[in-house]
């Protein structure tokens, strides 16, 4: 097939709409089920590139959860702990393949942002992964193939309307790409820069310690940033993104946004949150919202007006600011990547508050010396990659 007609573009008033390959070749994608739209394909194609590169860089199956052309989560297939299974709503008895672990991590990083996402998988979708996806609210998926039973499970979602895309893993686009804005065509070489552990060799801080898992986490952060709307910052730990800040005009706001998401991920693992009791029949999305509210600063208001009874079976104790700070103070070994240099030391200082111990950023700021000095004071290992990763 050389083109696919779409219902409309970004918005219903933007017609006609279609996708095709400029050089006249066959499309590398096949729609197996449903009718994916313009934004679905944008998420799918960006997500596919991300997971393909994660797999190439780490050798592990990879998954991504995309929303509005930026990832809400990205991860590789490392086994889940019992705590992670609980916060990701994975049955402890569930059979999990490495690909299913990657998906659970990607979906679980920021569950509120992943609501209604588009999923990307690096490998053929297997049954364990499809069973996890079955229970989540999602618009669609892209993968290089599907096991027959997995395809059947996925096709039953959304009353049979779930968008399922298969992509040719051997497809390689032309080296020059184009984009039209306001009737004007932009042309540039594709960003084919290869990201791997060799990018982390220029360590500029006094602390040179960079263990293997930290290298993997930094590579995950940098590849994730390559497909995240800039400005962007990504916090990672244990083989997955735990906080992504995308599309901010100020880098410190980006660092704060991603840091607050990383904090939420860490707070969800606190026993006080794990022990919350919910009313019967509550949906996963309602649980996610309730947990986010419980962790938030305004939960006292909810307790006071009795609204807690709608979601909690037992009135929860207040999660005080002091308790949260004590729990977060135990966080460590978090990695952070930035798609461009840190212009001020405040980014390093904010990252440290969320347990960041390893940083990878391009370097090149007039204030690099101050940024390095801040990292040295906090005992952080920082590598300058020399490569900016803007994505627009």
Angle 251-267/284-295 helices, nearest 10 degrees?
A: 110
Cβ atoms 8, 36 nearer than 8 A: no
Helix (H) / strand (E) element for 119: namely: strand 117-121
68 catalytically annotated: yes
Sheet order of strands, 163-167 included: 29-33, 163-167, 138-143, 117-121, 62-67, 70-76, 240-246, 232-237, 334-338, 356-361, 381-384
Residues 6+ apart with CB under 8 A from 104: 80, 84, 85, 88, 90, 96, 132
- Strand ranges in 150-239 using DSSP code E only, listed in sequence order: 163-167, 176-181, 184-189, 232-237
The region, left, alpha or beta by phi > 0 then psi within -120 to 50, assigned to residue 381 is beta
Residues 6+ apart with CB under 8 A from 167: 28, 29, 30, 44, 48, 142, 143, 144
Q: Helix or strand or coil: residue 258?
A: helix
178 catalytically annotated: no
253 catalytically annotated: no
Q: Which of 33, 46, 231, 347 is catalytic?
A: 231
347 catalytically annotated: no
Q: Which of 32, 68, 86, 197 is catalytic?
A: 68
Tokens representing 52? 């393909």
Q: Which of 40, 46, 55, 67 is catalytic?
A: 67
Residues annotated as catalytic are: 67-68, 231, 392
């Amino acid at each position: 097939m050389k083109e696919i007609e779409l219902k409309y573009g970004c918005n219903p008033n933007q017609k006609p709409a279609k996708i095709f390959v400029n050089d006249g070749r066959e499309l590398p994608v096949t729609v197996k089920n449903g009718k994916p739209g313009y934004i679905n394909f944008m998420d799918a194609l960006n997500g596919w590139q991300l997971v393909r590169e994660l797999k190439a860089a780490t050798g592990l199956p990879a998954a991504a959860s995309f929303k509005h052309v930026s990832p809400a989560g990205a991860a590789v297939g490392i086994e889940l702990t019992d705590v992670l299974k609980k916060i990701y709503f994975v049955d402890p008895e569930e059979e999990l393949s490495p690909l299913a672990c990657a998906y659970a991590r990607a979906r679980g990083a920021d569950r509120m942002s992943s609501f209604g996402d588009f999923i990307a998988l690096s490998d053929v979708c297997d049954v364990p992964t499809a069973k996890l996806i079955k229970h989540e609210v999602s618009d669609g998926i892209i993968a290089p193939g599907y096991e027959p039973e997995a395809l059947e499970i996925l096709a039953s979602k959304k009353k049979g309307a779930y968008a399922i895309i298969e992509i040719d893993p051997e497809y390689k686009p032309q080296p020059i790409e184009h984009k039209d804005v306001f009737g004007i065509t932009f042309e540039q070489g594709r960003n084919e820069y290869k990201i791997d552990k060799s990018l982390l060799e220029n360590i500029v801080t006094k602390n040179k310690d960079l263990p293997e898992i930290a290298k993997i986490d930094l590579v995950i952060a940098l590849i994730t940033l390559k497909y995240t709307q800039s400005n962007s910052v990504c916090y990672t730990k244990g083989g997955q993104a735990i906080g992504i800040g995308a599309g901010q005009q100020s880098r410190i706001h980006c660092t704060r946004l991603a840091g607050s998401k990383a904090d939420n991920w860490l707070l969800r693992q606190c026993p006080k949150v794990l022990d919350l009791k919910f009313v019967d029949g509550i949906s996963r999305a309602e649980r996610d919202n309730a947990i986010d509210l419980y962790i938030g600063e305004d939960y006292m208001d909810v307790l006071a007006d009795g609204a807690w009874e709608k979601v909690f079976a037992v009135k929860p104790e207040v999660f005080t600011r002091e308790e949260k700070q004590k729990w977060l103070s135990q966080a460590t070994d978090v990695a952070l990547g930035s798609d461009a240099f840190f212009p001020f030391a405040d980014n390093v200082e904010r990252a440290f508050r969320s347990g960041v111990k390893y940083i990878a950023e391009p370097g090149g700021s007039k204030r690099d010396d101050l940024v390095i000095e801040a990292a040295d004071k906090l005992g952080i290992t920082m590598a300058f990659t020399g490569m900016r990763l803007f994505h627009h």
